[in-house]
Structure 1
Amino acid sequence: MLRLDNLGQNAAPSFDAPLEMLGACHDKVRHFCSLLDKLPGYLAAQGVTPALQSSVAGILRYFDVAGPAHHADEEDELFPLLRQRLPDTDTPLARLAADHVMFGQRWQVLRRQLLALQDGTAAQVDAEAIHAFTTHYRSHAQLEEDWLFPLVAVTLSEDELRQAGQRMAARRQQPG
Structure 2
Amino acid sequence: MAVTLGQGALAGFDEPIRVLMDCHRRIEKFLSLLLRVADECRGEAMGSEYREAAESALRYFANAAPHHTADEEQSLFPALRRHADDPRVAEALRRIALLEADHDKADAAHARVAELMQRWLDEGTLPAAPLAELRETLATLHATYVRHIAEEDEVIFPLAAEVLAREVLIDVGRSMANRRGIEPNTTGPRCKHAQPNHHAKQDHS
TM-score, structure 2 as length reference: 0.78
Equivalent in the alignment of 2:80: 82
Structure having the higher helix fraction is 1
Alignment partner of 1:106 out of 103, 106, 109: 109
1:6-17 equivalences under 5 Å are: 6-17=4-15
Per the alignment, residue 127 of structure 1 pairs with 135
| CA distances 1:64-92 after superposition (whole Å, capped 9, x unpaired) | 12211101001111111212212523321
- 2:169 equivalent to 1:161: yes
- The one-letter amino acid paired with 1:160 is V
Answer whether contact 2:13 2:176 (CA < 8 A) is retained.
Answer: yes
Task: Tell me the residue number matched to 1:63.
Answer: 61
| Stretches (4+) displaced over 6 A | none
Tell me if 1:93 matches 2:96.
yes
Contact 1:53/1:117 (8 A) holds in 2: no
Which range is displaced more, 82-91 or 158-167? Answer: 82-91
| CA shift for structure 1 position 105 | 0.6
Deviation at 1:28, TM superposition (A): 0.7
CA distance in 1, matches of 2:43, 2:80: 48
Supply the RMSD in Å over aligned alpha carbons. 2.0
Structure 1 residue 52, shift from structure 2 partner: 1.5
Contact 2:43 2:120 in 1 (8 A): no
1:22, distance to aligned residue in structure 2 (A): 0.5
CA displacement 1:3-25 (0-9 Å, x = unmatched): 21x10132221212111100100
* Bigger RCO (CA 8 Å, 6+ sep): 2
Deviations 1:136-174 (A, max 9, x none): 112211110011101100111111111111110110119
Provide TM-score, normalisation by structure 1.
0.90
How far is the alpha carbon of 1:45 from its aligned partner? 8.8
Could you tell me how far apart the structure 2 residues matched to 1:150 and 1:13 are? 16
SS of corresponding position for 1:11:
coil
State the match for 2:41 in structure 1: 43
User: Is it true that 1:138 corresponds to 2:141 in the alignment?
Assistant: no
Deviation at 1:111, TM superposition (A): 0.6
How many angstroms apart in 1 are the aligned matches of 2:43 and 2:114? 22
Where does structure 2 lack aligned partners over 5 or more consecutive residues? 183-191, 194-205
Structure 2: how far apart are the matches of 1:44 and 1:80? 43
Structure 1 runs not aligned, ≥5 long = none
State the match for 1:19 in structure 2.
17
Q: How many angstroms does 1:120 deviate by?
A: 3.1
- Partner Cα separation in structure 2 for residue 106 and residue 44 of structure 1: 19
